[in-house]
Structure 1
């Protein structure tokens, strides 16, 4: 099973972090997503709702206890503060994102696109959270 680690938009739909990618992706797309660490590939069953519909009364479409990427779910940085989530990063300009990345131990090139900077920070934070 392949799940989105970050927000992914394909030709057919948008996937939020943690959602199973149900459509058949080309090998080129999969290689692109793997290279940038945008997906999680797992064996076995279980999983998240794939249609975003409420199941078991949960209105946001996520299983109980899972609310996507962000804040407290992502863990704490070296200073004990919650990592910034995607919404917070998107409100920042490129220079602020690069500065924040340096504060949490990630070197980024400020000439990259803002969306790439945000994705890089979210991927880094996700990896750091998994290490704990």
Structure 2
């Protein structure tokens, strides 16, 4: 289970003295605990943990963009290092060619013909991809196909 892997990675990072990794994993474990409390459950399934990691990745990417605009290269470097640690816990991302193929199949299955049908296509595609691609990329590609 992913949650146990994360806890084990924290132990290894502590032993090897990887300060950035320890910091990021502790933040992730904190997010997991908060989610457990909010959902009133003892364990989170891997999909929910991946969802939390994706949320943290989005936050880091937004921070990197803001720091670049503010010309804070020191913070960009820090956030990029933290982002690399989080990426270790995401499933391998699907290439855009594969996403395009999945979108084409979904459009055929749902009978979508215009941008009004985007919601049906998106829900079908997201169900198939399950966190292995960025929702913004999928949304952009579906829009391009339906307009």
Determine if the TM-score, normalized by the shorter chain, exceeds 0.5. Answer: no
Greater helix share, 1 or 2? 2
Q: Which is higher, the Rg of structure 1 or of structure 2? A: 2
